[in-house]
Amino acid sequence: MNLLQVNIRAAGYEKDEAKIKDIDFAIGRGELIGLIGPNGAGKSTTIKTLLGLLPYKDGEILFKENATYSYIPERPIFYDELTLWEHLDFVAAVEGLDDRTYKEKANKLLQQYKLAEHAHEFPGKYSKGMQQKAILVLSMITDPDIYIIDEPFIGLDPNAMKLFLESIEEERKRGAGILMSTHVLDTAEKVCDRFLMIHEGQLQAEGTLADIREQCSLPNASLFDCFHQIAEGKSNE
Amino acid sequence: MNSSSIFLRRLRENQRYKRKVWRTVADWTVVVYIIIPAILIGIFRFISWWQETPSWAEPLPLSIFFFGLFLLSWYGNIQTYVEEADKLFLVKKRKLFLGVKVFGYGYSLAAEALSTIAILIILSPILILKFNIGSGLIFLLFFYLFSFRSTILICKYYWKRIESRWIGMFTGIWLFAVFGGIHLGAYSLFVGGDLLNFALAGLSFILLVGSVIVSYRALQRISTIDHDIKMGQDSKNSGINMIFTISQDVEKPVITKRKRPLLFRRSKRMFQKRTKANGFTELFIKAFIRNFSYWLSYFQMTSVGAAAIVVIPPMWIKSIIFFAYLFMMYTWLQSVWDKVFQVNPITKKYTEADDYFKARKRTILILYFIAILLLIGISSVGLFIYSSFSILYQMQ
């Protein structure tokens, strides 16, 4: 069974003004799905719909029973008043994680992401890249079944980007399903299993790179070319 | 384009922004049911003061009013109306840029003068009827207060540029003590008869001329642009932090400059027993005590409530204030809790859990009882001091 089954008929801030329509897809175990599309296409709205953050939704979002998820927003949001360790401590407490196991994992992740020395500082005062790494650590601490990631590469230096890609690869191997919205198409082309290409609030193409090429009638084209064809082609019609 | 037109445009935009923020809470119901009745009651009260000195003011000596004026003098900052984008454009036109700052300073001084006049008008029935102070002396008091406040303005301008937290704090205490000394001296001159009144006028003149010269020189610098922008932002947000706290829809401002917490250093846990409910409680209490605007509002509400209970005489009004406080404090604590957990996606997904509601009820009740104890404690001390004043007054 899929970890997440999505059938959005329409969603938005008001019933009469749907921002996205007819978006159907599923995420299976160990799958990494790229959610791509131009600015304002509806990627963030799709993610907000999955998270239940939109006032109007017509459709079904079905998580597998007892499946847990972690959301990594485009702009990391922290409590100004809590240290990074206190954020981790809170998540561990409310998720009911075993104290010793959680501490071991937290320390390992903080070491990996070079945040150990800053664990007792307010993450709101970190640099942009450090904040991005901190939110990744925070999301990984619970070993979620699903990751919903919005633009993860913004603010990451090349080392952190490599580390992030290695981390999500490990999570996939563990069996986690990942939905990742991104504009970094050359990286997405290398790491994603499948793609969801959204334009003007609707799913325009989906599947593997080969499927996308076929749907765009562009054999041997890159993901970038297919993206361009869909985004510009549709706009020019 | 000249400095005055840029300044006026920015002033209008600033006022528009403040009006917009106020409108987020002051909708027509608040205006009709709270603001208009409050203004009308205030006007009737003010008229009644001209007929009879209010009973709360009877036992209070002039020195207490002078002390109140001292505290009020610290309100306000030099506003330069410098904006972030000036770093790119306006800063290249030095004369134009500095002109905007000077106009801003002039406006700040005018605002200080107007607020001083407003305070003295409000106090005039008490000053004239109770203390028999004539119009000449009231004008002298205005002149002194205006000069005193303009001196505080420039000292605050330099004080706020201090980066180091500890040096800043000690400088603040030192400034408060020095200005306290000046004000005490001014009080002696004010009540000391005609000759000393002349001395007070001379002191006021020196303060005013000195502060204007120093301020003008301080404003002739481009290198303070970051500080000017920050002070402009602080001023823009002044008075609306309470709205941020009350309103669920408005994002709260950044609250600390520290990199590490002062309390619970190295992320020390409050509860050794790690339950879900304790997790929620710990997060809330840490967020609450480390957020200046939260605990400031907590103590402000309590101290204002206590002051009202002490000063307003009829017992039935004291009881109404007490019950209104109980209601307001509980509602406010609930709204702060909801804001802490509902706004952030890290916690929002846990807000349907049973332990969340258990922790909410428990934590709010604890903070609520502490607030009630504080109110009773402060009111008792206040009533004791106030009644001591009354006895002394009656003995005279």
Per-residue pLDDT at B268: 83
pLDDT of residue B244: 53
Does B165 contact chain A (CB < 8 Å)? no
- Domain spans, chain B: 3-238, 242-395
Do the beta carbons of residue B130 and residue B53 sit within 8 Å?
A: yes
How many CA atoms within 13 Å lie on the side-chain side of B294?
22
**Tens digits of pLDDT across chain B (396 residues):** 788 899 999 999 888 888 877 776 666 666 776 778 788 888 988 998 898 888 878 888 888 899 999 999 998 889 899 888 887 788 778 888 899 999 999 999 999 999 999 999 999 999 999 899 999 999 999 999 999 999 999 999 999 888 787 888 899 999 999 999 999 999 999 998 888 999 999 999 999 999 999 999 999 888 888 888 888 877 766 655 555 554 544 435 545 667 777 777 888 888 888 888 899 999 999 988 888 878 888 888 888 888 888 877 677 777 888 888 888 889 889 988 888 887 777 787 788 888 899 999 999 999 999 999 999 998 888 878 877 766 666 665
For residue A213, the model assigns a pLDDT of 86
Residue B118: the pLDDT is: 95
Q: Which residues of B103-123 are buried (b: 16+ CB within 10 A; e: fewer)?
A: bbbebbbeebeebbeebbeeb
Low-confidence ranges of chain A (pLDDT < 70): 233-237
ipTM, two decimals, is: 0.72
| Domains within chain A, CATH numbers bracketed | 1-68+147-157+169-237 (3.40.50.300), 77-143 (no CATH)
How far B331 CA lies from chain A's nearest CA (Å)?
A: 22
At residue B257, the pLDDT reads: 66
Give alpha helix (H) positions in chain B.
3-25, 28-30, 36-51, 62-72, 94-125, 135-159, 165-191, 194-219, 225-237, 241-246, 276-290, 292-311, 315-342, 345-348, 354-395
* Residue A124 contacts B where some CB pair is shorter than 8 Å: yes
pLDDT, residue B25, reads 66
Query: A52: left (phi > 0), else alpha (psi -120 to 50), else beta?
Result: left
Q: Looking at the complex, report in whole angstroms how far the Cα of residue A102 sits from the nearest Cα belonging to chain B.
A: 12
pTM score over 0.90: no
pLDDT at B110: 95
Residues of A in contact with B275 (CB under 8 A): 93
- Is there a contact between A83 and B267 if contact means CB atoms under 8 Å apart? yes
- Residue B101 has what pLDDT? 93
In A11-70, the residues whose Cβ lies within 8 Å of chain B are 51
pLDDT of residue B256: 61
> For A187, what's the count of Cα atoms within 13 Å in the CB-facing half-sphere?
16
> Is the C-alpha dihedral spanning A190, A191, A194, A195 positive or negative?
negative
pLDDT at residue B251, as a whole number: 39
Residues of chain B with Cβ-Cβ distance to A63 below 8 Å are: none
The per-residue pLDDT for range B253-308, each reduced to its tens digit, is 545 667 777 777 888 888 888 888 899 999 999 988 888 878 888 888 888 888 88
Supply the pLDDT for residue B26: 67
Nearest chain A CA: its distance from B293 CA (Å): 12
